[in-house]
Amino acid sequence: EVKMLAELRHPNIILFMGATTKPHFCFVTEFMPKGNLFEHLANPASLIDDPTRLKMAKDIALGMVYLHQRKPPIIHNDL
């Protein structure tokens, strides 16, 4: 999985920087100053207007197309 993530380059996919196994296994990714999408969607105080929601949906779809068009395709099981 680490090898596969290291090869991904797309503007709509967070950049994988590396991984560590000590003190436990974790991925290192680029810093996202506004946090992750799940936290925004789960927070009732986080208001996202419809044009922004549409752009977010389009950006997610573009990232998924990139993953699905790879050889072999990559399936995102958490989406």
Say if residues 66 and 58 touch (Cβ distance below 8 Å).
Answer: no
Enter the tokens of residue 31: 């810093």
The Cα–Cα gap between 26 and 22 comes to 8
Residue 25: DSSP 8-state:
-
Catalytic residues, by residue number, are: 78
